[in-house]
Every structure is written in C-alpha cells, then in structure tokens.
Amino acid sequence: MTKKKVLITGGAGFLGSHLSDRFIKEGYRVIAMDNLITGSLENIEHLFGKKDFEFHHCDVSRFIHVPGDLDYILHFASPASPIDYLKMPIQTLKVGSLGIHNCLGLAKEKKARVLIASTSEVYGDPLVHPQTEEYWGNVNPVGPRGVYDEAKRFQEAMTMAYHTFHGLETRIVRIFNTYGPRMRLDDGRVLPAFIGQALRGEDLTAFGDGSQTRSFCYVDDLVEGIYRLLMSDYAMPVNIGNPDEITINQFAEEIIRLTGAKQKVIYQPLPEDDPKQRKPDITKAREILGWEPKFSRAEGLKPTLEYFKGKVGG
C-alpha cells in the first residue's frame, strides 16, 4: 500500500519539526520545506537518512512544487515571535498572503487537505476573556504587531475563501503559547527568555508590572490537537492551547524556583499592543476533537529546561 504523503511548510521550525516527527511516527511520507530564516536544520537532522523524510530548502512565498500525489498540507511557515516578525515584517506578511495562496493552489491541484497554523494573535489585545473562536478580536492593523496579526487573519480569510468557493478541504488551528524542546533561546518570548536569563545568571526581565497573563501549552499536547483537527471533519477555526492561566510575575517565580536561580525580576515598559490577557476557551477542541492538554507546566518544563541547558552550556 502506498504511504500517504504530507507537506509541512516551516518544517525545520520549532512546531514544524515536531509535526514532522509525529507524521513519520504515524507512517506518512513527510516533505519538509523551509527557507531557514527562523528554522534550523538542527531541528530535523535526526530525520535525515530516513527513507520517508525529505527536506527542501525553499521559500514558499515564491513557489511550491511537489511531484506526484499529495494528501495533506500543513502551512506552518512564518516568523512567529515578536523579535522575528518585527525584524522581518515584509517576509511575515508575504508568507501569510503569497505563501498561503501557493499552498492553497497546490492543494487544489493535488486535491489535498490543508491545515493552516493561525494564532491567538488574531484576537489581538482581547476585550473578551477567555477567548472563544467566535470572538473577532481587537487588533491594531498599523501597530508593530499588525504585520503578524493581520497576516494570520488574512491567511484565515483566504483559506475560508478556497473552502467555500473551490470546495477545498481546509482546517484552521489557532495556536496559543506553546513551549518545549527546539524553541530558540533568543526568540524573544517570555519562556525561553526567562529560562535563558536564569541559566546565565542574569536578572529576569518582565515587561509592564508583570500582571499580564499567559497560558502555556506543551508541544506534545499541541501536536496531538493539530493531528486530531487535521483528521476531523471540522472546517472552522479551533483554539488549541492550555487554559491554565498564570501571571508573568508568577511564572518568573516558577522559573527561579525550577532553576535554583538567585536573581531577581526587573521590569521594563510594556511593548505597544502587548496583550494583557491570554487564555484559550478550548470547549470546541474538547467537544469536537476529544482533546485537552495532558501535560502540566511542571511536567513540560522539565524536558524544556534540559534542552535549554544544552544550549546555554549549563
């Protein structure tokens, strides 16, 4: 029997590499594409040499070609942390517009099912808490984060247009804060930033007064949710994240305890349009996919910390 084939754009990134692992494990042939502007071959080097894995160094905003049959496309190519998309605003907008257009065109040609990586950022700085999929968001299109927020919102609109106009099979996952091994220490998000600072013996830098909240989902839980959504019959957006909400101050104390650090927390001004609260309503994921997170933060932080220790040399 011929193995099913899946294309993962952004396949050398943090999430793309974990998805590649999962699909290889499930018995698929995996084609990973990445232009490596934020991804790293180190994330997938353990897959090189496997007969069911191939890597293409490719900018999906320009062109995508896959010979032969294709069953699924997962579009995960995009700078995803503020430090990246503020440095690369045009590339971020392009991969959410031209990149998704290329993916959807390929899916239409191959009669493949597409799952796109959207984000909790489509809700902006939310006025509704927790955030349900029906909430339309509070986004500043011309603010510094607009390049990412609007790229993802456009990507959702384009995907739904192909779904309704061409009858394409599409899935939309709205991803909330996710963490785990293969995150970049320098990606600017609070979890790698705090752990990196703690391991280097630096004070932990919080923004604002540290009362803003985040909800952290371990990568294995996220991958399970994405896999279930891809295999489901549900075409509207679904939140996948961990609803266990924590303030930045509480999280800083947690990291200090976990690492045995002796440092203190210092405060800097809150960046423009930084969300004050972030917590997914996962009712849909529970009801439609039978999914909810299994890993507590304490369980997920252990392997994550070990990974980062190797990166810091601690």
Active site residue 267: no
Residue 98 CB contacts under 8 Å (≥ 6 apart), including other chains: 61, 62
User: 162 φ, ψ to 5°?
Assistant: -65, -35
- Count the Cβ atoms, other than its own, within 10 Å of residue 109: 10
Q: How is residue 124 annotated by DSSP?
A: B
3-state secondary structure 157-180: HHHHHHHHHHCCCEEEEEECCEEC
Q: Which of 148, 179, 218, 227 is catalytic?
A: 148
The count of residues in the chain is: 314
User: 277 φ, ψ to 5°?
Assistant: -135, 145
Torsion of CA 75, 76, 81, 83, to 10 degrees: -80
Q: What is the β-pairing status of strands 29-34 and 5-9?
A: parallel
Residue 45 CB contacts under 8 Å (≥ 6 apart), including other chains: none
What is the C-alpha separation between 115 and 53, in angstroms, rounded? 19
What is the C-alpha separation between 151 and 147, in angstroms, rounded? 6
What is the C-alpha separation between 288 and 241, in angstroms, rounded? 15
- Count the Cβ atoms, other than its own, within 10 Å of residue 200: 13
- Catalytic machinery residues: 148
